[in-house]
Amino acid sequence: MSEKKNEFDLSLETADYLRRQVDYIPEYAIVLGSGLGSLVEDIEVEKEIPYKDIPNFPISTVKGHKGSLIFGTLNGKKVLAMNGRFHFYEGYDMKKVTFPERVFWQMGIKKLVVSNASGGVNRNFSIGDVMLIKDHINLFPEHPLRGPNDERFGPRFVNMSEPYSKKMLQVVRAYAAEKNIKIKEGTYLGLQGPTFETLAEYTMVRNMGGDAVGMSTVPEVIVAVHMGMEVFGISVITDIGTEEFIEEVNHVEVLKAAKAAEPVVRELVGKLVERY
């Protein structure tokens, strides 16, 4: 990013470029997390743009994370899917991690869906569970809104009483009940990574009130809420951080477990988009 332009101008420039790619404003932006990329198979793709072709966009570096924006139709609604996100642990600063959300808002998109893989610390959780994110705890060492506030995006002090839309949660909850799909709900606690947690850290997460822990999502949601976007978050529990299970955690296991739960996440997100 150039030094002269501010975040507002940069994101507007990127939004203008993206707006020229299709003749509609998508209703939803959907961030596809670890191993959840196959949601794109449900999207009738109209245009796919690699990050490297998008002005001002950072480029994703993690193995297994792709990098493109996908315009298309999901269950009758226009969506913009983000296939591959930017993590703080990769070395991006928080402004870069959350730049895509700034762009989505500048394009006129008002609804955001975020998905991720996480480690469960709630004793009622099992590997492969799907957790609706009801709330989060931000323990990242840098805040995405630190620094001068641009009032055009939103206020200096942001109300965080409902970061995850209760209406959206209710739509998904109702559908899951209808279809007898077992879901969990809980609080996602965000840490920077890239290490998985020690047993003592998983215990800390649980004691602090987290049900699951991960390395993404929280910064993006904060920035989306700053701009008044409506957010839905969903997480696949890919490992369990307790004495019995902690040895299992590695990236391959996480991707495997995320893949296994993918059909459920796809169905729930698809239904949300269709019904809300």
Judged by beta carbon, residue 214 or residue 233, the one nearer ligand HPA is 214
Cβ–Cβ under 8 Å, residues 139 and 191:
yes
Q: Closest CB to ligand HPA among 181 and 246?
A: 246
* Residue pointed to by tokens 């959907």: 30
Q: How far apart are CA 2 and CA 80, in angstroms?
A: 26
Query: Shortest gap between Cβ of 213 and ligand HPA (angstroms)?
Result: 5
- Closer Cβ to ligand HPA, 72 or 214, answer by number: 214
For 27, the token pair is 């209703």
With contact defined as beta carbons under 8 Å apart, do 118 and 132 qualify?
no
Is 213 among the residues that bind ligand HPA (CB under 6 A)?
Answer: yes
| Nearer CB in complex with ligand HPA: 110/256 | 256
The number of residues that bind ligand HPA (CB under 6 A) is 13
Eight-class DSSP state of 32:
E
Which residue in the set 37, 58, 214, 233 belongs to the binding site for ligand HPA (CB under 6 A)? 214
Residues 102-121 that bind ligand HPA (CB under 6 A): 117-119
Give whole-number Cα distances, 217 to 58, 76, 140, 163, 175, in Å. Answer: 17, 26, 11, 12, 24
Cα separation, 192 vs 215, whole angstroms:
5
Contact 227, 98 (CB under 8 A): no
**Binding ligand HPA by CB under 6 A: which of 100, 153, 241, 268?**
241
Q: Which is nearer to ligand HPA, 92 or 153 (CB)?
A: 92
Residues at the contact surface with ligand HPA, assessed by CB under 6 A:
117-119, 196-197, 213-215, 238-239, 241, 249, 254
